[in-house]
Amino acid sequence: MILILKSNATDEQIEHVLERVEAMGLQHHLSRGTYRTIVGIIGDEEQLREEPLRAIPGVAKVVPVLPPYKLASRDAHPEPSVVDVSGVKIGGGYLGMIAGPCSVEDRDRMFRIAEAVCESGANLFRGGAYKPRTSPYSFQGLGEEGLKLLREVGDKFGLPIVTEVTDPRLVETVAQHADMLQVGARNMQNFALLTEVGRSDRPVLLKRGMSATVNDLLMCAEYILSQGNSQVVLCERGIKGFDSATRNLFDVAAVPLVHSLSHLPIIVDPSHATGRPDLIPSCALAGLAAGADGVHVEVHDCPEVAKSDGQQALLPSQYDELMSQMRQLAQALGKEISPLPEKQF
């Protein structure tokens, strides 16, 4: 920890700062410059975070040396983590390709879409049984009926299932049917939900909030990790920007930034990031080129009748073409689309 003192800090204030550091049982190193005085502190940063150091007279700024997300950081785990979702690996050179409709809909449509994306090479199937919507009058999902349908589809095609959980009280129910629990952007800082999925034995897909910094995202991952669940995959799905040409601002730089700070895998979701099917392929490829550990794409066989977000879904034929391009790029990058586990009969 480093304390930067105010330029007009008096000798009495500086001495008081040093006394407070010593009172906490920590060591200090005073460095006087022409314009600034800096105090370096050596000791347990957890203890320091509990102290209101910024409130000490004469202190201008408190700069932590170590990140506050201890379990998610590269310092705690130098090698990249590999998350296993019922046999499909994400991270460490393995790519997770998640595809499916925004919402779980009728049975025949779900089977058609799953068959199409499976043939194209997707290795995880997604669909929302519970849908947090901006309007209370919008389609909210099929609930437990949708979970059962997802499980049926997953078992039929050997595809692990990813679906969103929106409430701490639903974690156990969703975990009974899904292979991976998704925490959506609107719930990224729902700390009760993060704590509950952290107690689950299911891998978690944590999406970045629309107004969240990368630091915010990693701190939310820390909530899950701190409860004992080490199987966390992050997702860059776009943040709020000022340009209305796209649904969100696709922060592709977040991918290499996360990899420099954390051992956790991170995938990209160009569907939510752009909201435009014509931009999804380019942004998906850009995400992989930036180092993403997978791509999350919404696919629907008839977007105009979709229950939600049909305007940002690719047709199965478009997804098939994109998968072909991503497969070639993965090979060039020395990565592998994780194969599906063999079906158990």
DSSP state of 239: B
Q: Quote the pTM value.
A: 0.85
pLDDT bin (cut points 50, 70, 90) of residue 306 is confident
Query: Rounded CA gap, 288 and 282, in Å?
Result: 10
Q: What confidence score (pLDDT) does residue 184 get?
A: 95
Select the more confidently predicted residue: 208 or 60.
Answer: 208
- Phi-psi category of 86—alpha, beta or left, where left has phi over 0 and alpha has psi -120 to 50? left
Q: What confidence score (pLDDT) does residue 318 get?
A: 97
For residue 344, pLDDT beyond 70: no
Helix or strand run (H / E) with residue 2: strand 2-5
Query: Rounded CA gap, 195 and 227, in Å?
Result: 7
For residue 345, pLDDT beyond 50: no
DSSP codes, 63-123: E-SS-S-TTTBTTT--SPP-EEETTEEEBTTEEEEEEE-SB---HHHHHHHHHHHHHHT--
Q: What confidence score (pLDDT) does residue 50 get?
A: 52
Q: Which residues pair with 91 in a beta bridge?
A: 94
Domain definitions of the chain by residue range: 2-63, 83-337
Q: What confidence score (pLDDT) does residue 171 get?
A: 96
Query: Rounded CA gap, 54 and 324, in Å?
Result: 54
Q: What value does the mean pLDDT of the chain take?
A: 91
Query: Rounded CA gap, 38 and 65, in Å?
Result: 14
Q: Which CATH class is domain 2-63?
A: alpha beta
Stretch 72-83: mean pLDDT? 91
Count of alpha carbons within 13 angstroms of residue 277, beta-carbon side? 17
Q: Does residue 208 sit in helix, strand or coil?
A: coil
Is beta strand 336-337 parallel, antiparallel or unpaired with respect to 94-100? parallel
For residue 186, pLDDT beyond 70: yes
Q: Which has the closest alpha carbon to 238: 205, 271, 285?
A: 271
pLDDT bin (cut points 50, 70, 90) of residue 139 is low
What is the percent of the chain with per-residue pLDDT over 70, rounded to a whole number? 94
Is beta strand 161-164 parallel, antiparallel or unpaired with respect to 124-126? parallel
Stretch 319-343: mean pLDDT? 94
Close Cβ partners of 204 (under 8 Å, ≥ 6 residues apart): 180, 181, 182, 183, 197, 198, 224, 229, 231, 232, 233
Tokens of 251: 């922060």
DSSP codes, 30-53: EEE-SS-EEEEEES-HHHHHTS-G
Query: Rounded CA gap, 95 and 267, in Å?
Result: 9
Q: Does residue 126 sit in helix, strand or coil?
A: strand
Is beta strand 83-85 parallel, antiparallel or unpaired with respect to 27-32? unpaired
**CATH 3.20.20.70 corresponds to the domain 83-337:** yes
Tell me if 291 sits within 8 A of 259, measured CB to CB: yes
Fold match between 2-63 and 83-337? no
